[in-house]
C-alpha cells in the first residue's frame, strides 16, 4: 500500500494526514498509534455505513457500533449535535475519549463540533469518505453547525489528531457527489496551483474514471495547499480567507434554497464563476483565465438552475455571511489562475452584476 503522509501545523501541535488506496484497513493500528483508546464514539450515517460498514466493521471492534446521524446539509444542526452528546453520555465517555468521524463534510463538521464541545473538548479523528471532505473540510480544524440565518454560524477551531483519506472509498460515490468535490479541487487550482488546475482540465475522463494514482495525487496536492495556508493562519484572521474563494455567493445560494437544491460544491462552482466575473470587471483576472475557469466547470457537468433565484434575497443572505467583519465583507478575488487577492470593498452593484452574470434574476 502506497501512503502519502503530510503534516499540518496548528497552534499547539501538528497532526498527520495519511492518503492512500485501502488505508482504512489499517485504521485500528493508526488509532492506537495516535493514542485513541477504547473510549471513542464513531459517528457516521446510515448510507455511509451501508456502503463502508462491512469494511470498517472488519477493521474495528464490536464496541465501535456507530452513532448514525441524518444525511445532508439540513442535518448540520444543533439538534443533531445534541443527539450525539446523548450517545457520548450513554457510553460514559470521559475526557480521554475521541470522536471518530466517518463520512462526508457534514459528518466531519458536526462530529467535530461535538468533539470540540463535549466535556470542553475531546480528541477528533477524521475519516472522510467523499472527495470534498478529503480535499477540504477534513483538514484545518474548522468544525460547526448551521443556523437558519446562515451556514457555519456556530462553530469552533478544533484540529483533529489524525486524518485518514482512503481514495478507494470514492468509487462508491454517485457521479454528482464526486463532481461536487471536484469543484473544490478546481478552487485549489485557482487560488494556488496552475499545475493542479491544468491537471484537472486535461484529465477529467481519467479523474471521473477513478484513476487511483491520479486521485491520490490530487487529494495530496489539495491537502498540501490547505496545510500550508492553515499553518500561516489557523484562525482565519487573514491569509486563510483565500480558501473561501467562491464561498460567499455559494453559501448564499445554499441558504436561499434551504440546503435542498445544491450540493455544496455545486454552489461553490457558481460562486467561483461570480467571483471570477468581479475579478475580471476589476481588471484583476484576464479574460482567458475567466474563460478557462468557466470551461472546466462546464465540462464537469450540469449545475442546478439558478434562473428563479432573486438577487435581492441573495444579497440579504450575503449580509449574514461570517466573513463580514465590522460591517465589511471580506471577499476573495482571483488575480488569475493560481493567485488571489482579499478585498473588503466589493460593492453591492458588483455583487449584483456577478449574480446576474451567472443567471440569477
Which residue's entry shows cell 457510553?
A: 91
Q: Are residues 84 and 59 part of one domain?
A: yes
Q: Are residues 187 and 165 part of one domain?
A: no
Per residue in 297-329, pLDDT tens?
999 999 999 999 999 999 999 988 766 665 688
Write down the pLDDT at residue 2. Answer: 86
pLDDT band at 59 (very low <50, low <70, confident <90, very high): low
Q: State the Cα–Cα distance between residues 223 and 139, nearest whole angstrom.
A: 7
Compute the half-sphere exposure of residue 347: CA atoms within 13 Å on the CB side of its CA: 5
Boundary of a domain, candidates 123, 152, 172:
172
Q: Are residues 320 and 179 part of one domain?
A: yes
Write down the pLDDT at residue 91. Answer: 93
Q: Residue 181: give the domain boundaries.
A: 175-357
Question: Under a CB-based contact definition with an 8 Å cutoff, are residues 246 and 264 in contact?
Answer: no
Write down the pLDDT at residue 120. Answer: 96
235 has a pLDDT exceeding 80:
no
Q: How many domains does the chain have?
A: 2
Residue 326 maps to which CATH number?
1.20.1090.10
Q: State the Cα–Cα distance between residues 323 and 49, nearest whole angstrom.
A: 34
Q: Are residues 225 and 163 part of one domain?
A: no
Q: Are residues 273 and 207 part of one domain?
A: yes
Write down the pLDDT at residue 148. Answer: 84
Q: Are residues 184 and 148 part of one domain?
A: no
User: Nearest Cα to 147, choosing from 73, 237, 67, 243?
Assistant: 73
Give the lowest-confidence range in 88-92, 101-105, 239-243, 273-277. 239-243
Q: Are residues 242 and 186 part of one domain?
A: yes
212 has a pLDDT exceeding 70:
yes
Please state, as a whole number, how many other Cβ atoms lie within 10 Å of the Cβ of residue 113.
26
Residue 107 maps to which CATH number?
3.40.50.1970
Q: Are residues 315 and 206 part of one domain?
A: yes
Specify the higher pLDDT residue, 202 or 2. Answer: 202
pLDDT band at 37 (very low <50, low <70, confident <90, very high): confident
Q: Mean pLDDT in the chain? A: 93
Write down the pLDDT at residue 325. Answer: 62
User: Nearest Cα to 275, choosing from 247, 297, 298?
Assistant: 247
12 has a pLDDT exceeding 90:
no
Query: By three-state DSSP, how is residue 19 classified?
Result: strand
Q: Are residues 156 and 210 part of one domain?
A: no
Per residue in 348-361, pLDDT tens?
999 999 999 999 99
151 has a pLDDT exceeding 70:
yes
135 has a pLDDT exceeding 90:
yes
Q: Are residues 120 and 12 part of one domain?
A: yes
pLDDT over 70 percentage in the chain: 96
Q: Are residues 203 and 125 part of one domain?
A: no
13 has a pLDDT exceeding 90:
no
289 has a pLDDT exceeding 80:
yes
57 has a pLDDT exceeding 80:
no
pLDDT band at 196 (very low <50, low <70, confident <90, very high): very high
Query: By three-state DSSP, how is residue 358 classified?
Result: coil
Boundary of a domain, candidates 152, 172, 192:
172
Provide mean pLDDT across the span 157-170: 96
Specify the higher pLDDT residue, 160 or 12. Answer: 160
Query: By three-state DSSP, how is residue 134 classified?
Result: helix
Q: Are residues 83 and 36 part of one domain?
A: yes
Provide mean pLDDT across the span 46-62: 81
165 has a pLDDT exceeding 70:
yes
Please identify every residue annotated as catalytic.
120, 142, 184, 226, 236, 240, 244, 247, 251, 264
Query: By three-state DSSP, how is residue 258 classified?
Result: coil
Boundary of a domain, candidates 144, 172, 200:
172
Amino acid at each position: 500500500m502506497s501512503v502519502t503522509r503530510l503534516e499540518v501545523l496548528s497552534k499547539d501541535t501538528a497532526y498527520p494526514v495519511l492518503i492512500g488506496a485501502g488505508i482504512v484497513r489499517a485504521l485500528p493500528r493508526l488509532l492506537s498509534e495516535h493514542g485513541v483508546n477504547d473510549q471513542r464514539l464513531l459517528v457516521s450515517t446510515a448510507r455511509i455505513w451501508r456502503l463502508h460498514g462491512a469494511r470498517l466493521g472488519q477493521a474495528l471492534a464490536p464496541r465501535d457500533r456507530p452513532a448514525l446521524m441524518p444525511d445532508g446539509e439540513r442535518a448540520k444542526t444543533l439538534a443533531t449535535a445534541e443527539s450525539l452528546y446523548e450517545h457520548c453520555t450513554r457510553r460514559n465517555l470521559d475526557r480521554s475519549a475521541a470522536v471518530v468521524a466517518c463520512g462526508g463534510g457534514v459528518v466531519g463538521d458536526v462530529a467535530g463540533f461535538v468533539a470540540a464541545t463535549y466535556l470542553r473538548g475531546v480528541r477528533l479523528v477524521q475519516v472522510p469518505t467523499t472527495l470534498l471532505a478529503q480535499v477540504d473540510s477534513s483538514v484545518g480544524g474548522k468544525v460547526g453547525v448551521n443556523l437558519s440565518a446562515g451556514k457555519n454560524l456556530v462553530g469552533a477551531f478544533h484540529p483533529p489528531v489524525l486524518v485518514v483519506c482512503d481514495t478507494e472509498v470514492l468509487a462508491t460515490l454517485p457521479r454528482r457527489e464526486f463532481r461536487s468535490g471536484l469543484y473544490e479541487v478546481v478552487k485549489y487550482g485557482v487560488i494556488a496551483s496552475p499545475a493542479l488546475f491544468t491537471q484537472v482540465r486535461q484529465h477529467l475522463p481519467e479523474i471521473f474514471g477513478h484513476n487511483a494514482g491520479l486521485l491520490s495525487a490530487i487529494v495530496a496536492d489539495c491537502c498540501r495547499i490547505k496545510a500550508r495556508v492553515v499553518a500561516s493562519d489557523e484562525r482565519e484572521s487573514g491569509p486563510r480567507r483565500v480558501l473561501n474563494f467562491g464561498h460567499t455567493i455559494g453559501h448564499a445560494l445554499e441558504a436561499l434554497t434551504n440546503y435542498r437544491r445544491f450540493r455544496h460544491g455545486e454552489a461553490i462552482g457558481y460562486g467561483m464563476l461570480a467571483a471570477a466575473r468581479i475579478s475580471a470587471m476589476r481588471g484583476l483576472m484576464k479574460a482567458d483565465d475567466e474563460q478557462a475557469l468557466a470551461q472546466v466547470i462546464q465540462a464537469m457537468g450540469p449545475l442546478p438552475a439558478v434562473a428563479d433565484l432573486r438577487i435581492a434575497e441573495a444579497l440579504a443572505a450575503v449580509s449574514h455571511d461570517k466573513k463580514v467583519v465590522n460591517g465589511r465583507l471580506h471577499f476573495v478575488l482571483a488575480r488569475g489562475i493560481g493567485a488571489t487577492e482579499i478585498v473588503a470593498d466589493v460593492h453591492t452593484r458588483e455583487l449584483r452584476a456577478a449574480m446576474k452574470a451567472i443567471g440569477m434574476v
